[in-house]
């Protein structure tokens, strides 16, 4: 099957519909990709699957006449990421790779040692959209506004397990822990550079819905820990597993 450029849109997708691209999409299609009228485009909106159609260029604006559905909608596993923001480029890396690895939702968590408490979720959402377009995802993860660690724990749904990656603990490895746990709604918590404070570690370890785990014998940078933890979860309980 021929590979078409993919774009995330918010419009309804169904047979016979036409999508009017905004100025930014139109510039991207004509000036960056240098597409012409009649070229194929694939679009998705996170609800209606992936559709293909032919591009129509009308002056400076573009529209797409949908012709056929190429893939049915499929959601990623019900897994959230809670992460302490780090420096800008490394936070960008976390969002991009978490999107590619199939996270459903992301929440920046402010901790005692968090390097950057100011997070622009609109910019991170834009990065997630680009990563979804490139990785063949059919949806885009939701990125929530940042929240303090104690606040998010106090309001947490106890039916959703939090796997707390503790670089300072002597806990069972994440992989071994997952092999004994049922597949259920879950979240992975990754701390900042420097780890969690002692009071935060005590807070996290006093709740039964929070399971402390180890990511191995070495200290990992935050973005490495995110990629490692998501890969482990997806391979055992997620959509990398043949039994998922």
Tell me the three state secondary structure of residue 153.
helix
Q: How far apart are CA 112 and CA 122, in angstroms?
A: 24
Q: Is the pLDDT of residue 200 over 60?
A: yes
Q: How far apart are CA 72 and CA 46, in angstroms?
A: 10
Cβ(160)–Cβ(136) below 8 Å:
no
Q: How many CB atoms lie within 10 A of CB 72?
A: 9
How sure is the predictor about 242, in pLDDT bands with cuts at 50, 70 and 90? low
Which residues are CB-contacts of 120 (< 8 A; sequence separation ≥ 6)? none
Q: How far apart are CA 128 and CA 124, in angstroms?
A: 6
How sure is the predictor about 1, in pLDDT bands with cuts at 50, 70 and 90? very low
What residue ranges do the domains of the chain occupy? 6-71, 79-236
Q: How far apart are CA 40 and CA 59, in angstroms?
A: 18
- What fold is seen in the domain 79-236? Alpha/beta knot (3.40.1280)
How sure is the predictor about 209, in pLDDT bands with cuts at 50, 70 and 90? very high
Q: How far apart are CA 91 and CA 167, in angstroms?
A: 19
- Beta pairing, strands 61-71 & 142-143: unpaired
CATH level 2 (architecture), domain 6-71: Beta Barrel (2.40)
Cβ(230)–Cβ(98) below 8 Å:
yes
Which pTM value belongs to this model?
0.92
Helix/strand/coil percentages in the chain, nearest 5: 30, 25, 45
Higher pLDDT, 165 or 117: 165
pLDDT of residue 244: 46
């Amino acid at each position: 099957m021929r590979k078409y450029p993919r774009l995330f849109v918010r419009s309804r997708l169904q047979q016979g519909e036409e999508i009017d691209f905004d100025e930014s999409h139109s510039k991207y299609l004509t000036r960056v990709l240098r597409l012409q009228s009649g070229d194929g485009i694939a679009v998705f909106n996170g609800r209606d699957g992936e559709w293909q159609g032919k591009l129509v260029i009308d002056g400076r604006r573009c529209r797409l006449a949908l012709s056929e559905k190429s893939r049915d909608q499929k959601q990623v596993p019900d897994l959230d990421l809670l992460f302490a923001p780090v420096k800008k480029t490394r936070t960008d890396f976390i969002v991009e790779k978490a999107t590619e690895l199939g996270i459903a939702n992301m929440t920046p968590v402010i901790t005692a040692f968090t390097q950057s408490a100011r997070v622009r979720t609109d910019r991170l959402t834009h990065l997630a959209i680009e990563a979804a377009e490139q990785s063949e995802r059919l949806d885009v993860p939701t990125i929530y506004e940042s929240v303090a660690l104690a606040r998010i724990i106090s309001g947490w749904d106890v039916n959703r397990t939090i796997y707390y990656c503790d670089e300072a603990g002597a806990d069972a490895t994440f992989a071994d822990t997952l092999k004994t746990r049922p597949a259920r709604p879950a979240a992975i918590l990754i701390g900042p550079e420097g780890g969690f404070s002692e009071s935060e570690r005590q807070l996290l370890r006093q709740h039964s819905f929070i399971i402390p785990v180890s990511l191995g014998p070495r200290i990992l940078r935050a973005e490495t820990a995110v990629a490692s933890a998501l890969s482990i979860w997806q391979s055992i309980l997620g959509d990398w597993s043949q039994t998922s």
